[in-house]
Amino acid sequence: MEFTAVASGLFFLEAPREHDGAVWFTDVVRGGLRRLRPDGRIDEWLPGRKWIGGIVPNDDGAVLCSGGDGIAWVNPATGDSGMLLDAIYGQPIRGVNELHPDGEGGLYFGTADVAEVEHGGERGPSALFRLHPDGRVEQLADGFEFTNGIGVRPDGRRLYMSDTGVGPYAFDVLVDGSVGPRELLAEIPDCDGLAVDCEGGIWIACLMSGVLTRLSPDGTIDRRVELPTPGVTSVSFGGTDQRDVYVTTTAPDALEALMNKSTPSATASLYHARCDVAGHPVGRTSFRLGVGLNTTIG
């Protein structure tokens, strides 16, 4: 693949997602939800919102995003915004990292104690959940180091999740929507975001090694693709043929700067390339936003 930077001069980029002809992404350190238009202009919403590690489009035109206090939404056409989920089972959320549609109008999401990451403290529990369109929250699995990238096999019967510090896990999705026992596909401690292609291959963004690693469905490493810069945080597919690949990176000193309350080097970029394998299209959620399904659920 030949990568070209399409947005640069930022700190800690995450969550690339093509939606309605534009590419959305975030800056975890600087904050904000960004939309890169085809003409190169960048729009921004929720400028004070940090730790957005996941973006999912809703079927009413709004965009859902994660963050340090749960899951928020913004409608780019109207500018309206709000919280979809800020508590689980009555307890405030200490952070949501990645999001992914579940194929039935809801979404999968992973919790992560991002406040303690920022402060360099001991992180709290990290778990994998499912949020149904009616607001019901279902815990699928727990006991992770740090939940990260989430993806689904094209037939919807296999769920993947990166556990940063360990590697990517696979779960069989059962008939009732719950998941079977976790299966460690490969030992990739620096696994971050992930995406699934139309052949069932799993593309892993490797944070420290600065590569994309493609796993076959059985966990065999199929290929490794180097990026122009280290610090690969996330990957997604897009385009009319799903062969456009978008990858985000982070400045090498971003996490250290965040903990020290200093400004990192502005060397992170959003990259684009073309791939010989098409991605599996990511769907939309169908939450009724702003009509009582926000704030506390669970």
Strand partners, 36: 23, 42
How far apart CA 129 and CA 63 sit, in angstroms, is 19
Q: Indicate if the pLDDT at residue 41 is higher than 70.
A: yes
Place of tokens 């939940």: 147
Which bin fits 138, alpha (ψ -120 to 50), beta or left (φ > 0)? beta
Place of tokens 């506390």: 296
Residue 252, pLDDT score: 82
User: Would you say 166 and 177 are in contact if contact means Cβ atoms under 8 Å apart?
Assistant: no
Q: List all residues 6 or more positions away from 209 whose beta carbon is below 8 Å from its beta carbon.
A: 190, 230, 232
Q: Indicate if the pLDDT at residue 297 is higher than 60.
A: no
| HEC per residue, the chain | CCCEEEEEEECEEEEEEEECCEEEEEECCCCCEEEECCCCCEEEECCCCCCCCCEEEECCCCEEECECCCEEEECCCCCCEEEEECEECCEECCCEEEEEECCCCCEEEEECCHHHHHHCCCCCCEEEEEECCCCCEEEEEEEECCEEEEEECCCCCEEEEEECCCEEEEEEECCCCCECCCEECCCCCCEEEEEEECCCCEEEEECCCCEEEEECCCCCEEEEEECCCCCEEEEEEECCCCCEEEEEEECCCHHHHHHCCCCCCCCEEEEEEECCCCECCCCCECCCCCCCCCCECC
pTM check: above 0.85:
yes
Give the confidence band of 121 by pLDDT, cuts at 50, 70, 90. low
Q: What average pLDDT does the segment 242-255 reach?
A: 91
How far apart CA 146 and CA 42 sit, in angstroms, is 30
Q: What average pLDDT does the segment 73-101 reach?
A: 94
Q: Indicate if the pLDDT at residue 254 is higher than 80.
A: no
How far apart CA 100 and CA 42 sit, in angstroms, is 24
Give the confidence band of 259 by pLDDT, cuts at 50, 70, 90. low
What's CA 261's distance to the chain center, in Å?
A: 24
- Please give the domain boundaries of the chain with CATH numbers for all domains: 4-274 (2.120.10.30)
